[in-house]
């Protein structure tokens, strides 16, 4: 087996279709079918339980070979990255697991600056909730995690940002008025939901008057901008264009601000990969500089 065979199995494992796989790797369908038959003879196994117009279904041995092929492609990418770095040019593919809000509000600017210094590096970026990303980083599906909340992580972690959680509105409001006002809620990381719910229960004996529930904090902010209600959001959603909005930081019973953190996670041994090491160092040095300051209430 060689790199071409690994690529075939990798794409086939995703597409589960001979025709689409042939199109992606620029082979004719008869050529691809012949190569798969040769692989089966070479390995002495059957790769497929079913192969037809409805797609394919791998045997257990076939699934094992797909996993093997993907592992070999990852190792090859890492070796190529090391070899290129020895020539003085940093390249390779960074696999990043990033919280959705960070990917929306922070990551584009960070990657733009990083790419100016390392234009040959490519990116494979997964966005999800923190718990899912923790699993991906732990299994090294992702090399680096940028995760929200307080991660239960035994390897290296570093806090990048600590935001305030705040009440966002289109007009000035008082905290004690919240139960009577219309609230806009949104789907977010469960740990942030627990923080907000815990604060609410400390402050009020009645539930919020929820007008609507939307997919994410950015949509909630747009609803607030149009005067439909208030939202309780992390301050990451605030931009320079939001100076017409009003916000009030949440404070707990001890008068301390209610905060929400962003963390950088990685395994120490992955710093041996030049692209990973360069990105970690860049984030450590420049992430905070790329974050706009919180804006004063208008």
pLDDT, tens digit, 9 for 90 and up, residues 48-106:
887 766 788 899 999 999 999 989 988 887 777 666 555 556 778 899 999 999 999 88
- Do residue 73 and residue 156 come from a single domain? no
Which domain covers residue 223, as residue numbers? 163-259
Which pLDDT value is given to residue 293?
A: 41
Residue 295 lies in a domain: no
- Pair (233, 152) in one structural domain: no
Cα angle for residues 123, 124, 126 (degrees, 5° grid)? 130
Question: 3-state class of 48 per DSSP?
Answer: strand
Mean pLDDT to the nearest integer, 178-193: 94
Domain-ending residue, one of 39, 62, 83: 83
φ/ψ of 255, rounded to 5, equals 70, 5
**180 occurs within a structural domain:** yes
DSSP per-residue letters across 143-190: SEEEEES----SSEEEEEEEEEEEEEESS---GGGGGGSEEEEE---H
Do 221 and 278 share a domain, yes or no? no
Name residue 147's beta-bridge partners: 263
In-domain check, residue 298: no
Question: Residue 47 maps to which CATH number?
Answer: 1.10.10.10
Residue 224 domain-assigned (yes or no): yes
68 and 215 in a common domain = no
Region 21-50 average pLDDT: 87
- Rounded Cα–Cα distance for residues 101 and 219 (Å): 12
Interior angle at CA 153, CA 236 and CA 234, nearest 5: 15
* Domain termination residue (choose one: 49, 83, 117): 83
pTM exceeding 0.85: no
Beta bridge partners of 263: 147, 159
DSSP-derived letter for residue 202 is: H
Domain assignment of residue 296, yes or no: no
CA distance 2 to 132: 32
Question: 65 with 173, same domain?
Answer: no
pLDDT tens for each residue of 280-292: 989 987 665 555 4
Residues 167, 251, single domain; the answer is: yes
CATH number, residue 191: 3.40.190.290
Whether 297 is in a domain gets the answer: no
Identify whether residues 283 and 152 lie together within a single domain.
yes
Residues 191 and 134 in one domain: no
pLDDT attached to residue 92: 83
**Two tokens at 278?**
């360069």
116 in a structural domain: yes
Predicted pLDDT at 291: 53
Asked if residue 298 has pLDDT above 60, the reply is no
DSSP state of 88: T
Average pLDDT taken over every residue of the chain: 87
- The residue that leads in pLDDT, 29 or 103, is 103
**Lowest-pLDDT range of 19-28, 37-46, 136-145, 265-274:** 19-28
Query: What local confidence, expressed as pLDDT, does residue 98 receive?
Result: 95
Q: How many domains does the chain have?
A: 3
Residue 97 domain-assigned?
yes
Shared domain for 175 and 229, answered yes or no, is yes
Looking at the fold, whether 154 and 118 belong to one and the same domain comes out as yes
Each residue of 148-178: pLDDT tens digit? 987 788 888 888 888 899 999 999 999 999 9
Residues 134 and 269 in one domain: yes
Q: Are 266 and 143 in contact (CB under 8 A)?
A: yes
Name the pLDDT band for 247 (thresholds 50, 70, 90).
Answer: very high
Whether 151 and 273 map to the same domain: the answer is: yes
pLDDT given for residue 88 in this prediction:
54
CATH of residue 157: 3.40.190.10
Predicted local distance difference test score (pLDDT) of residue 84: 59
């Amino acid at each position: 087996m060689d790199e071409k065979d690994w690529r075939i199995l990798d794409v086939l494992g995703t597409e589960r279709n001979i025709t689409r796989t042939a199109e992606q790797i620029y082979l004719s369908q008869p050529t691809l079918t012949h190569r798969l038959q040769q692989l089966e003879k070479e390995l002495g196994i059957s790769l497929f339980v079913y192969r037809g117009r409805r797609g394919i279904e791998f045997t257990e041995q076939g699934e094992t070979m797909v996993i093997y092929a993907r592992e070999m492609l990852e190792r090859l990418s890492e070796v190529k990255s090391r070899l290129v770095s020895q020539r003085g040019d940093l390249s390779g593919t960074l696999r990043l697991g990033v919280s959705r809000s960070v990917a929306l509000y922070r990551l584009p600017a960070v990657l733009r600056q990083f790419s100016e210094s390392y234009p040959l590096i490519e990116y494979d970026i997964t966005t999800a909730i923190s718990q899912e990303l923790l699993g991906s980083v732990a299994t090294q599906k992702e090399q680096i995690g940028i995760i929200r909340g307080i991660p239960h992580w035994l390897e290296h972690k570093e806090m990048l940002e600590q935001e305030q959680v705040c009440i966002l509105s289109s007009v000035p409001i008082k905290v004690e008025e919240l139960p009577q006002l219309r609230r806009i809620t949104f789907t977010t990381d469960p740990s942030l939901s627990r923080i907000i719910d815990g604060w609410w229960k400390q402050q009020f004996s009645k539930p919020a008057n929820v007008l609507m529930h939307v997919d994410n904090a950015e949509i909630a902010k747009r609803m607030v901008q149009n005067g439909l209600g208030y939202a309780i959001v992390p301050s990451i959603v605030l931009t320079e264009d939001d100076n017409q909005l009003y916000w009030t930081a949440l404070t707990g019973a001890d008068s301390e601000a209610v905060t929400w953190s962003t963390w950088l996670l990685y395994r120490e041994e992955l710093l041996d990969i030049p692209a990973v090491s360069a990105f970690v160092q860049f984030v450590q040095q420049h992430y905070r500089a790329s974050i706009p300051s919180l804006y004063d209430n208008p």
